[in-house]
Amino acid sequence: MRPESLFPFFKPVTSINGIGPRIAILVEKAAGAHVIDLCWHLPSAIIDRRYAPRVADARPGVVATMTLTVDKHAKPPNKRLPYKVYCSDDTGKIALVFFHAHEEYLRKNLPEGEVRVVSGKIEQFGKELQITHPDHIGTADEIARLQAVEPVYPLTTGLTLKVLGKAVRASLEGLADLPEWIDTAYLAQQGWKPWRDALLEAHGPENEAALDPQAPARQRLAYDELLSNQLALALVRVAMRKVKGRAIEGDGALRTNVIDALPFKLTSSQEEALGEIYEDMAAPIRMLRLLQGDVGSGKTVVALLAMLNAIEAGGQAAIMAPTEILARQHLATIEPLAEAVGIGVVLLTGREKGKTRQAVLDKLESGEATLVVGTHALFQDDVGFRELNIAVIDEQHRFGVHQRLTLAAKGRAVDILVMTATPIPRTLMLTAYGDMDVSRLPDKPAGRLPIDTRVMPIERLGDVTQALKRSLDTGAGIYWVCPLVEESEVLDVAAAEDRHAYLKRIFGDVAGLVHGRMKGKEKDAAMEAFASRQTRILVATTVIEVGVDVPDATVMVIEHAERFGLAQLHQLRGRIGRAEKPSTCLLLYAAPLTGPAEARLKIMRETDDGFRIAEEDLRLRGAGELLGTRQSGLPEFRIADLGVHGELLAAARDDAALIISRDAELITERGQALRTLLYLFEREAAVRNLRSG
């Protein structure tokens, strides 16, 4: 149960005065649904209202707070013209300008003959000094409040700074002093203030320097968030380790035959990863390992050999992918190898219905089927196994921690191997997968040629089309990836359909189309037509990003490449260069390029090392966007910035390890404070792993 002292933090934002249901929707969009979300919503800029000149000294273009006498209201002859209120001090005159004005409201707030304090941006219009729509109007005794540094918060359409600022201030009122959870020696060494003081300081920046992620108050809050993350992962790991595993060791018969049947030799990193996996499986504790390899590094073969180890030992194995296309891709890779050694493979996706589905379920339940490839359909309650020994989960960042635990619950002490083709920077690795051991596959398989990557302006579309004609003559398969259009799948599809129509006019029926709004069967048919060379150009939205394998495809055109993130560009480029043929990737951009977009395209031209690309991506974009955390199982940090706070992460990780070694149940005084921290950052799942939680 969440401690009572934290109840006020988790009230809905509608509990704050002035936030009704309509405004609450906007506040939730900008910050979150609870009071605590407003506490974590830190300012991104400041407006300094301390400049308080006389009228004669006021500088245009600057925000000023001025004490003025209201001289007269000048109502315009028609509503299209602005309403003006003329004010003055003993050095000169200034006009306050209002469009679509409510006269009654203005006369009430700016009564003629009275003194008012007005704050806003000074502008020069002809010879007249003006403030258009002042930000604040108050009485003379409110000058101290108005003449301050005002925090500016990230907003959303329809939400004003005035409304959100007021809500944030309300959320900070009556903040409880919570017991200190940071190690006292470390706190003193860093010179940080207590949590409550740090939070108030972060929301009351006095200057630009206070907005820096390295400012002491922000560092303290970032460390709190990172510590909650690392401690939660450590607790999950401890809980997983407590569940007795079982030793799984096959006799090697199936694996030897498959390795002999492979058309290539395993790379040294594949052999090393397999050694680590076999060792984990043989130990009496559960395996929880991440296999991280760049595009085309041979993860699927490693996964197959791990699964065959479980099957040799008399168990069953499952491999789960996030999409049907990827599940079928795994099936195409695994099935011929498995069948060559007498292992039948079954498929279970959302598309299997009725009798077909029931037949697969019966085979899994009886143990007749020892290897299953599937999608989320494997999570469903009616899916049971006779003896599931190992679960392989592909593209882990599409699944949350809870989902991998659901699949693990389908058997007794199931070993888990997670795979990702997205190279992940070390810092993100620790925050997302700190509960797992890691194996990396940095080598490319023998015979892979580097991909020739070129960057060119979209105006050269005619030249690109000519080049494609030449490529088609040599028998190449061509991907043409259409741009991301804002965040609308409908617009993405429209862009792809337009480009498809253009290419079809030039090349005829060899141009195919695949996008995310197609039905599963249509998508598969479009992919199959491309793989079997019925179509030679495949126009696609980013649905082809993950795991599509067509060895003949040697050209990749990415339109509006400047709109894609580095990791995504790298994934897309990895769809080509899969056979021993030279491949070309054309990145088309629309000028002018922003600095970050130019940097991304430059890195893509320089390297195909996914790990270097991931580190650069983190540096350029920050972790929040890196793998699209919103729709994934990755933690979404509100304050910590992994591109900046790497050292704090390392410290939090060490501290979490120390805490677990000394007080794994969090029952000491500091342990109790750390429980509060976990609840504060909504890491309830970790607390539930504690016996006395």
- Please say if the pLDDT value at position 632 is more than 60: no
| Alpha carbons 531 and 304: distance in angstroms, whole number | 23
The residue among 384, 416, 441 that closes a domain is: 441
More confident residue, 487 or 422: 422
DSSP secondary structure string, 160-204? -HHHHHHHHHHHHTT---PPP-S-HHHHHHHTPPPHHHHHHHHHS
DSSP state of 249: -
Q: How many domains does the chain have?
A: 5
pLDDT at 623 over 60: no
Cα distance between residue 593 and residue 591, in whole Å: 5
Would you say residue 197 lies in a domain?
yes
Question: What's the pLDDT at 338?
Answer: 94
The verdict on 215 and 266 lying in the same domain is no
Give me the mean pLDDT over the 137-154 stretch. Answer: 86
Q: Are residues 61 and 140 in the same domain?
A: yes
State pLDDT tens for residues 312-343: 999 999 999 888 878 888 898 899 999 999 99
As a whole number of angstroms, the distance between CA 224 and CA 199 comes to 11
Task: Name which of 314, 519, 300 is nearest 420 in CA terms.
Answer: 300
Q: Average pLDDT in the 138-153 region?
A: 85
**Shared-domain flag, residues 158 and 232:** no
| Residue 623 in domain | no
Asked if 342 contacts 258 with a C-beta cutoff of 8 angstroms, the reply is no
Pair 171, 181 in one domain: no
> How far, in Å, CA of 278 to CA of 383, rounded?
27
Q: Residue 405: pLDDT band by 50, 70, 90 thresholds?
A: low
pLDDT of residue 637: 85
| Residue 479 is assigned to a structural domain of this protein | yes
What does the pLDDT look like over 449-484, one tens digit per residue?
789 999 999 999 999 999 999 999 988 999 999 876
pLDDT (mean) for 295-301: 82
pLDDT of residue 402: 54
pLDDT recorded at residue 187: 97
| 427 within domain boundaries | yes
Q: 327 with 436, same domain?
A: yes
* pLDDT tens-digit readout, 226-279: 999 999 888 888 877 777 778 999 999 999 999 999 888 899 999 999 999 999
| Chosen domain end from 380, 406, 441 | 441
pLDDT bin (cut points 50, 70, 90) of residue 630 is very low
Cα distance between the two ends of the chain: 7
Range 425-448 average pLDDT: 75
Q: Please determine, for residue 693, whether its predicted confidence score (pLDDT) is greater than 50.
A: no
Could you tell me if 504 and 558 lie in one domain? yes
Q: Is residue 342 part of a domain?
A: yes
In this structure, the answer to whether residues 126 and 78 fall within a common structural domain is: yes
Inside any domain, residue 636: no
pLDDT of residue 391: 92
Whole-Å CA distances, 321 to 28, 324, 328, 333, 392: 32, 7, 9, 13, 9
Residue 491 has pLDDT above 80, yes or no: no
pTM equals 0.69
Q: Which residue has the higher pLDDT, 429 or 32?
A: 32
Q: Strands across the sheet with 537-540, in order? A: 451-457, 583-589, 553-558, 477-481, 537-540, 511-514
Please compute the mean of the pLDDT values over residues 296-307 and round it to a whole number: 91
Q: Looking at the structure, do residues 171 and 191 belong to the same domain, yes or no?
A: no
CATH number of the domain within which 299 lies: 3.40.50.300
Q: 481 or 409: which carries more pLDDT confidence?
A: 481
> Domain boundary at 412, 441, 470, which?
441
Q: Tokens 């989902």, residue?
A: 403
The per-residue pLDDT for 543 is 60
> Which of residues 52 and 397 earns the better pLDDT score?
52
The number of beta carbons lying within 10 Å of the beta carbon of residue 523 is: 20
> pLDDT, tens digit, for every residue of 503-557?
999 999 999 998 877 887 888 788 888 988 899 999 988 765 444 577 788 999 9
Give me the CATH number covering residue 91.
2.40.50.140
SS3 helix, strand, coil % of the chain, rounded to 5?
Answer: 45, 20, 35
Which pair of tokens denotes residue 422?
A: 């997205």
Q: What ranges make up the beta strands (E) of 164-307? A: 288-293
Provide φ and ψ at 31, rounded to 5°. -125, -45
The answer to whether residue 362 sits within a structural domain is yes
Q: What is the pLDDT of residue 631?
A: 36
Amino acid at 421: A
pLDDT at position 617, please?
A: 78
> What is the average per-residue pLDDT within 144-157?
87
Would you say residue 143 lies in a domain? yes
In this structure, the answer to whether residues 305 and 411 fall within a common structural domain is yes
Query: 343-360 pLDDT, tens per residue?
Result: 989 999 988 888 999 999
Which domain does 78 fall in, by range?
Answer: 50-147
* Residue 362 and residue 413 in one domain: yes
CA nearest to 226, candidates 560, 649, 645:
649
Same domain as 455, residue 342: no
pLDDT of residue 484: 63
- Residue, of 398 and 435, whose pLDDT is higher: 435
| In a shared domain, residues 71 and 218 | no
Q: Indicate the pairing of strand 63-74 with strand 83-89.
A: antiparallel
Distances (CA, A) of 655 to 426, 610, 674: 18, 30, 12
DSSP string, 386-414: S-EEEEEEESGGGS-HHHHHHHHTTSSS-
Name the average pLDDT for the chain.
87
